[in-house]
Amino acid sequence: MPTTQPPAGARRESSAAPYDYLLDLDDTPAPYDYIVVGAGTAGSVIASRLTEDPAVRVLLVEAGSATALPEMAKPGYWPVLLGTAANWGEQTVEQSFTGTPLPLPRGRALGGSSSINGLNFVRGHRSSYDAWVEQGATGWGYDDLLPYFRRSETTQGRDPALRGTDGPMLVGPTLDPSPVIVAALAATRELGYPEAADVSGGVDVGFGLSDANASGGTRQSAADAYLRPVLDRPNLVVVTDTMVNRLSIVDGVCLGIEYTAAGKRTKVVARKEVILTAGAIGSAQLLMVSGVGPAEHLRDLGIDVVRDLPGVGSNLHDHPMSTVVYESAAAMPETPDNIFGQGVGLIHSERALGGPDLQLLLISKPYRAHTLDGPAYDNGSGYSIAFSAMLPFSRGTVRLASPDAGVGPLIDPNYLGDVRDEVVMAEGLRVARAIGEADALAEWRGAEAQPGRPLPDAESVRDYLRESLVVYFHYAGTCRVGTDELAVVDPELRVRGISGLRVADASIMPSPVSANTNATVFAIAERAAALIAA
């Protein structure tokens, strides 16, 4: 099991700084080469890959527990996890579109959100990665990332030029999909939508069965695939239940971190680099409490400005989601070994510009906003069709509520803040209802529970989008990669103006990818590990 009491300190001996940095020398261990902050998807991948070299010592620090909860194993139990300590339990600030705050799940455990999410393992369409390059993220297009997508996964029966065959993640579609999902996929063909050869591969448009990070009916998180198998490496130390308070930055060099574990505040040093993998919320927060971020905001909170980087915490984006919910006319089988969103479609809305921008998720449960009524989750009495604007224009922020890293930040995804996103979501609602009313679903279709009423005009559609909005928890973009003044990291993922510090997680995405984000984070982390080790 991971160590729970981190070592007291270390000595920095690195050519990156013209001096040694000495901290808490009692019981000093041999120094770490790298400190990785956050043992979610990206942190699990990077720590595992770097320690393949036995000469490299890595400290991996995680705020959550080392113990996997029993509910993590079964794909069908994931909503239960949102009410546990494996979720940070935050919410957004009041959203201008809904007039309310929304729950904001994110993982707090080994494996991070890959341990509590809905398990869809899907790449965005290649066009959404090539858009990154157009924004200055040289080396981060689809073809650049393809070897790292492939490196992360093992698939069967797919094009090996596109899909991996020997990676740690065992991914594939549900082997025994729900009959209502089979019927829903037939409904999409009835409406004339193409059947995708591999909807999870990043090059197809249309509908098909979604890949999942599950094998043999059991969730495989990033920690399961990358981290737990290598915990006995002598050059890897994993500490859990540990809050990182701030980065130690002196004269423009990140020397290490300060953290609290078991009530004790301690400092530890990295000889080479600190790598932030705390996600779009956590990495931005940690930079800001350490004095790296928008100077005016930091000064307002009494934080000494180490580096004025106005892009830190800006450019937050997530995929807005709503659902159409049906009661089932026949009893549906209960399949806790299966994911909910077994079918997925990626299509062009009428206003799509460069690539497909609308996702439809075919869900074997009556998934909906918690404020709405409808059939129960646990008795096979309903199903749903979700729709999501995959390339939203809306951008939000992460800002500090306090200079204390233990106080949750102010998170504003600004869902549907741009009217163009509302237009795409309205089209998604129309498509979802058309699928739900197709003849192929007649055997299963009971009453429409949500919306459950006519929506005759734009205002009534807008009202339903307000009441049905749910968080997809695909947060990204707050430390974006690029070369302009609002970029936080350069194309090598080095924080601009700070030596010895990188960010390598979903926060570096300049713009949204047209899919659930977890598969992309694996690829980002795989490429980051290669860059760091080079």
* Residue 485: CA count within 13 A, CB half-sphere: 3
Which residue among the candidates 125, 317, 319, 474 is catalytic per the annotation?
474
Closest to 109 measured CA to CA, from 245, 223, 265: 223
Distance CA 280, CA 317 (A): 9
Q: Which helix H or strand E contains 58, and what residues bound it?
A: strand 58-61
Q: Which residues contact 182 (CB under 8 A, 6 or more apart)?
A: none
* Residue 142: CA count within 13 A, CB half-sphere: 16
Q: Token pair of 25, please?
A: 């020398």
Q: Token pair of 479, please?
A: 């430390």
Distance CA 418, CA 146 (A): 31
DSSP state letter for 374: -
**Residue 286: alpha-carbon gap to chain centroid:** 17
Q: Which residues contact 212 (CB under 8 A, 6 or more apart)?
A: 75, 119, 120, 121, 171, 172, 173, 174, 339
Residue 319 annotated in active site = no
3-class SS string, 90-130: EECCCCCCCCCCCEECCECECCHHHHCCCCECCCCCHHHHH
Closest to 128 measured CA to CA, from 465, 428, 519: 519
CB atoms within 10 A of CB 53: 12
Q: List, by residue number, the catalytic residues.
A: 474
